[in-house]
Amino acid sequence: MDIGWRGGGGDDKNWVITDYVVDNDDRIGYAWKAMTKFSIPANLLKPIREFLESEAVKLKRKEKAMVKNDPFVDEDRLRENSTEEDVDEQLGHFDNQVKSKFINRQLVQVRKALTRLKLGKYGICEKCGNMIDTERLAVRPEATVCISCEKEDEA
């Protein structure tokens, strides 16, 4: 890591600011870290892309099924219901909404991973620019942030 005052700079490296310091003259110095160019071999990216695309299709199907199973979609529910039936419908709708939002978040994450794959940034944390641990990608191929950044977000 390099701490210093950088001018416009004409180098072709990508730099990430990791920290800053202020000196006695109120000048701000930044801690810079050069990002390394990282790429996953194409023969490994193909099965990852295929897996993510199949996950996206599965999640879309689940999302459609959730809409069909929503008790509020059933037109027969407008007929007279007992209080118990109304409560069951409300609980069923709430349960359906929670599951739909979860599925939607998963779908967004898969699409983000596919986009990063197409841009050549798959496996690189979108927050800090470091490489995402391969063990994490093996467990969660849709991950777009490293474990350190995810822990920071949760805190």
**pLDDT tens digits, 87-117:** 888 888 888 889 999 999 999 999 999 999 9
CA-to-CA distance for 153 and 155, rounded, in angstroms?
Answer: 6
Q: What is the pLDDT of residues 19-41, one digit of tens each?
A: 545 555 555 444 545 555 556 77
Rg (CA), the chain: 24
- Cβ distance 12 to 35 under 8 Å? no
Residues 39-50 have a mean pLDDT of 82
pTM of the model: 0.65
Reported as type and span, the H/E element at residue 2 is strand 2-4
- Spell out the domain ranges in the chain: 2-35, 42-154
CA-to-CA distance for 77 and 86, rounded, in angstroms?
Answer: 9
- Cβ distance 38 to 124 under 8 Å? yes
Q: Under CATH, to which class is 42-154 assigned?
A: mainly alpha
